[in-house]
Amino acid sequence: MRNKIIGDLLILLLFFGAIWTVFTIFPILPDETDIGISVEREEEIGDFIVENILGSSPEFDTIDNFMLDSAIEIITSRLESNISDSKYHYKFIIIDNNKINAYALPGGYIMIHSALIEFTETPEELAAVIAHEMGHVEERHVISRILRELGLAVLTSGDQYVLKEIGRFATSSAFNRRQEKAADDFAMGLLAKSRINPRIIATLFRRLNEEGNSYDKHLELLMTHPHNNKRIRSALEYDLEDNFQTKEIELNWDEVKKELLRVSVSSYCE
């Protein structure tokens, strides 16, 4: 009887061991970079969404200003030049919005709220947030999340009202923790390649935490979660090469922020 019990236990152990091996070697989680929709089609969808949400309500009003656009170009070109074999043509849009936030839309669109620019103390801090959003784009988290929640038929309908709702969904729903970690890892690697110290992410976490709930709760990079301290520690412990040297982004950030304030005030007066 005892031998039979031992034999049954061994069979169970072998069974669960085999299952563990299969799931370890061949994970069942879908590959988000191969989701059955091409990057080209994703970019078309992104174009339609952006065309239909910009200016559709005050929360999607844009800021078009040469100085601000140039500042964003200087920051993002540093990052883009250090992404290997990206399939995306990034488009960055400044949104006149008083919530500290940034988010990615399908097809390489990254929307940057004016309040986020105002909150950051250096261009490197803004670069850290943008790098995180680029991680979501490159890992195809944005399009896969919308496909999972809304389905392909809705996503490709082309109806302007549907596209507006997709846009609102994309700006208001959160990524899961696995996706956030992947975007964190991507951002830290990209910042290091761009000669920006990735530990600056920890500084952003700390300052946002000190602000309490005055920022948009959907800014996943900077949310106050129970695991926030772990993410701060990961940034502080990022393994930099011994010869790593930062290269300052040559922008007068105070002047950029003054221009932002000027534009925002004049827009409000209008």
Distance of CA 265 to the CA centre of its chain: 28
CA separation for the pair 145, 37 (Å, rounded): 13
Model pLDDT for residues 20-71, shown as the tens digit of each residue? 333 333 333 344 555 678 899 889 888 888 888 888 788 889 999 999 999 9
Summarize pLDDT for 202-229 with one digit per residue, the tens. Answer: 888 888 777 764 455 555 555 544 456 7
Tokens found for residue 2? 């005892």
pTM of the shown model: 0.80
Torsion, CA 194, CA 196, CA 199, CA 200, rounded to 10: -130
What is the C-alpha to C-alpha distance for residues 111 and 214, in angstroms, rounded to an integer? 19
Tokens of 87: 């399939």
Instruction: Give the full edge-to-edge strand order of the sheet including 102-105.
Output: 91-95, 109-113, 102-105
